[in-house]
Amino acid sequence: MSNLGKIKCLAGTVIRADSASPVSNFEVARVGSERLLGEVIRIDGKEVDIQVYEEIDGVHVGEPVEFTGEPLGVDLGPGLLGSVLDGIGRPLGGFSSEEAGAFFLKRGFFSRSLDPGTRWAFFPLKSPGDNLSPGDALGFVKEGEDFKHLVMAPLGSEMSRVREIASPGTLVTVDDAVGVLENSLAITPCQRWHVRTPRPCVERLPFSEPLITGQRVLDTLFPVALGGAAVIPGGFGTGKTVTQQSLAKWCNAGVVVYIGCGERGNEMTEVLEEFPHLKDPHTGRTLMERMVLIANTSNMPVAAREASIYLGMSIAEYFRDMGLDVALMADSTSRWAEALREISGRLGEMPGEEGYPAYLGSRLAQYYERAGRVRVLGEPQRKGSITIFNAVSPAGGDFSEPVTQASLRLSGTFWALDKRLAEGRHFPSVNWKQSYSLYEKALEPFFLENLGEQWKDCASFLKSLLERETELLSLVQIVGRDALSEQDKWDLEMGEIVRVAFLQQNAYDPHDAFNTLEQQMRLSEILKDLQCLVSEEIERGVLHQQVQGLGLLRQVLALRGAPAEDFEKRSHQWLEEVARSLTTSEGR
């Protein structure tokens, strides 16, 4: 039973309507004769403010508004992986021929996120008579080569017994019933979820494992826990997007949900053109097969940008509920906050810091708190996680602005991207002085168990050396490089070797783009051995100039490119060579 109203005021993306009967906050409204999608965001007596997810040019005062009584929802089910959706869940690729091939987005088109035409092979996990509680897997459908997409009893449904169930291999569309319960509830592969509501779970689990990103500076120095949250702030041109794309490519998550929230259209194209051709190093499938892309680029309507992160989060939670580790990336939180600010401004609300609404922090918290590592509802028992990677684009590169600060309070890892490093083409431009990870303690047992005691020494060696280099560089500013002791001169050179060979990582070089934890540790071990070796020689009287003549940096880079199998052997040979050439030069 829908409820009708009439448009009274129009400004930008917000309209005001009056409604005859009461409406609820955040219910979906269809605006005007074109039935544009919108959402109620404020109720004032009989007057209702609605944010509209599309451009509203050409809409008249007095046109009807229809209140649907339902909050904003999305269809979750097979077919999500590999798809491209806009901020409110409409497929941008289009299913039917009339929708596909639209170069320019037409407003008012209405489409579901799942293709109702595709047929999937269903395989049951339960038999008639079995109990089925919310979250229990009734069966699965096969998606792609070997992905088992669980068909779960909808959360919030009542426990019942299975009365009928489809036989193995039955081809079904997302709307066909694959089973019927004794309470007459038909289970379909597709379930609807209201995007602003968190999906429940049994309990939250403590952090115990890292999410492996394959980036040396991130995994070794500033690791993020599975189920944690990392914030990546940086001014323009510091490589936020490249870092996020590297994470999307190489991290060991089962599913990646990538939200292009108010960013460039060409970046979405890049992902769409590149990812179907790249292999996931962990499973061997193409990267696109584990990816859901939500594209609400900067020129698309602003209100849909606000909704896009909730949509992405709901999709991530759905895959988490299947027992998968999900990485959720949003580029960028600042654009989302700006959308919030724009809508708030149109409502004439009292502005908080820098014009952002006073509820910025609490809205962000609602989003961040949906991440985590959990035991999910239903049988068989499963654990799943959502790890958040959020880029932040602070105005003028100033990290003290409200969005960066609010994000920092809610997350555990901070990867500060630095303009100076980016200008010197040091990528990823993670500033090792400013960045931090609060998960180090929680993850220590994991690292010690998997990499051994050396891991701790290696990480602390890198940190102390970089710290020493910083000190020495400020000393050089005063006395010049020539006035340093031989050991200090070498420490400076070693600092450079660590920066170039370890911290820098070339996202475009197929051999260097991804490092396993073992590779990372072996490389840092070699560097540590090199430091010990040369320091000893210098103590014995070798001059730094002699060391410099060896061109160690170039040799380390060549060694780094060596195949993983014989890295161990070659690196030992190389260290011996270095030792030999230093002792002979001493003799001369």
Partner 1 sequence: MDLYREGTRSISGVTGPLLFVSNGRKAALGELVTIETSKGKRTGQVLQIDGDLCAIQVFEGTLGLNPGDCTVWFEKDVVKVRLGQVLMGQTLDGRGIPRGGKALPCFEKEVPITGSPLNPAMRAGPSDFVETGIASIDLLNTIVRGQKLPVFSGSGLPANEIAAQVVRQAHVPGNPEQFLVVFAAIGITEREARFFRDSFEESGALFNGVFVVNLAGDSAVERLLAPRTALTIAEYFAFDRGYDVLVVMTDMLHYCEALREVSAAREEAPGRRGFPGYLYSDLASLYERAGCVKGLKGSITQIPIVSMPGDDMTHPVVDLSGYITEGQIVLDRGLQARGVYPPINVLSSLSRLMNKGIGEGRTFAGHRQVADQLFASYARSREVSRLRLIVGDEGLTETELHYLRFGSAFERLFLDQGDSALSIGESLAAAVRALSTLPDEELFRIPADLMEEIRRVRLDR
| Least spacing, CB of residue 478 vs partner 1, in Å | 7
| Least spacing, CB of residue 92 vs partner 1, in Å | 4
DSSP string, 492-530: HHHHHHIIIIII---TT-TTTS---HHHHHHHHHHHHHH
Q: Which of residues 549-568 bind partner 1 (CB under 8 A)?
A: 549, 551, 553-554, 557
Residue 74 — left, alpha, or beta (φ > 0 → left; ψ -120 to 50 → alpha)? beta
| Least spacing, CB of residue 105 vs partner 1, in Å | 5
Question: Residue from 4, 20, 61, 121 that binds partner 1 (CB under 8 A)?
Answer: 61
Rounded Cα gap, residues 226 and 324, in angstroms: 11
| Least spacing, CB of residue 372 vs partner 1, in Å | 30
Q: Which of residues 184-213 bind partner 1 (CB under 8 A)?
A: none
Rounded Cα gap, residues 441 and 228, in angstroms: 13
Closer by beta carbon to partner 1, 20 or else 171: 20
Rounded Cα gap, residues 586 and 588, in angstroms: 5
Contacts made by residues 403-409, CB under 8 angstroms, sequence distance 24+: 403/333, 403/334, 403/337, 403/356, 403/360, 403/364, 404/231, 404/233, 406/360, 406/361, 406/364, 406/365, 407/231, 407/233, 407/333, 407/364, 407/368, 408/231, 409/361
Choose one: 131-139, 144-152, 183-191, 290-298; the region binding partner 1 (CB under 8 A). 290-298
Q: Which of residues 227-246 bind partner 1 (CB under 8 A)?
A: 235-237, 241
Q: Which of residues 324-343 bind partner 1 (CB under 8 A)?
A: 335, 338-339, 341-342
Question: Residue from 1, 45, 60, 98 that binds partner 1 (CB under 8 A)?
Answer: 60
Question: Residue from 3, 8, 154, 531 that binds partner 1 (CB under 8 A)?
Answer: 8
Structure tokens at 464: 């102390």
Rounded Cα gap, residues 331 and 392, in angstroms: 7
| Least spacing, CB of residue 31 vs partner 1, in Å | 11
Query: In angstroms, how far is CA 232 from the centroid of its own chain?
Result: 10
Closer by beta carbon to partner 1, 10 or else 232: 10
Q: Which of residues 479-518 bind partner 1 (CB under 8 A)?
A: 479-483, 508
Give the number of residues in contact with partner 1, rule: CB under 8 A: 77
End-to-end CA distance of the chain: 96
Choose one: 4-12, 74-82, 243-251, 277-285; the region binding partner 1 (CB under 8 A). 4-12
9, with CB counted inside 10 A (0-12, 13-18, 19+), is: exposed
| Least spacing, CB of residue 544 vs partner 1, in Å | 10
Closer by beta carbon to partner 1, 213 or else 297: 297
Backbone angles phi, psi at 192, to 5 degrees: -100, 140
| Residue pair 171/177 in contact by the 8 Å Cβ criterion | no
Q: At what angle do helices 302-320 and 333-347 cross, to 10 degrees?
A: 130
Closer by beta carbon to partner 1, 392 or else 462: 392
DSSP letter (8 states) at residue 350: P
According to the binding rule CB under 8 A, does residue 105 interact with partner 1? Answer: yes
Question: Residue from 269, 464, 470, 584 that binds partner 1 (CB under 8 A)?
Answer: 269
Rounded Cα gap, residues 295 and 308, in angstroms: 8
Question: Residue from 23, 76, 247, 295 that binds partner 1 (CB under 8 A)?
Answer: 295
Q: Which of residues 10-29 bind partner 1 (CB under 8 A)?
A: 10-12
Choose one: 222-230, 259-267, 405-413, 457-465; the region binding partner 1 (CB under 8 A). 259-267
| Least spacing, CB of residue 237 vs partner 1, in Å | 5
The residue with tokens 């239903």 is 378
Closer by beta carbon to partner 1, 272 or else 278: 272
Choose one: 35-43, 154-162, 344-352, 359-367; the region binding partner 1 (CB under 8 A). 344-352
263, with CB counted inside 10 A (0-12, 13-18, 19+), is: buried
| Residue 445, number of CB atoms within 10 A of its CB | 11
Closer by beta carbon to partner 1, 129 or else 351: 351
Closer by beta carbon to partner 1, 71 or else 93: 93
Closer by beta carbon to partner 1, 355 or else 445: 355
Q: How many residues does the chain have?
A: 588
Q: Which of residues 40-59 bind partner 1 (CB under 8 A)?
A: 55-59
Structure tokens at 314: 């709901």
Amino acid identity for residue 141 in this structure: V
Question: Residue from 1, 44, 45, 62 that binds partner 1 (CB under 8 A)?
Answer: 62
Question: Residue from 145, 273, 467, 518 that binds partner 1 (CB under 8 A)?
Answer: 273
Query: In angstroms, how far is CA 297 from the centroid of its own chain?
Result: 17
Structure tokens at 95: 């299913």
Q: Which of residues 153-182 bind partner 1 (CB under 8 A)?
A: none
User: Rg of the chain over CA atoms, in angstroms?
Assistant: 28
Structure tokens at 28: 């979906």
| Least spacing, CB of residue 424 vs partner 1, in Å | 4
Pairing of strands 413-414, 229-233: parallel
| Least spacing, CB of residue 151 vs partner 1, in Å | 28
Q: Which of residues 381-410 bind partner 1 (CB under 8 A)?
A: 393, 395-398
Rounded Cα gap, residues 495 and 350, in angstroms: 50
| Least spacing, CB of residue 503 vs partner 1, in Å | 13
Backbone angles phi, psi at 43, to 5 degrees: -125, 130
Closer by beta carbon to partner 1, 219 or else 263: 263
| Least spacing, CB of residue 97 vs partner 1, in Å | 14
Closer by beta carbon to partner 1, 59 or else 534: 59
Question: Residue from 1, 97, 104, 400 that binds partner 1 (CB under 8 A)?
Answer: 104
148, with CB counted inside 10 A (0-12, 13-18, 19+), is: middle
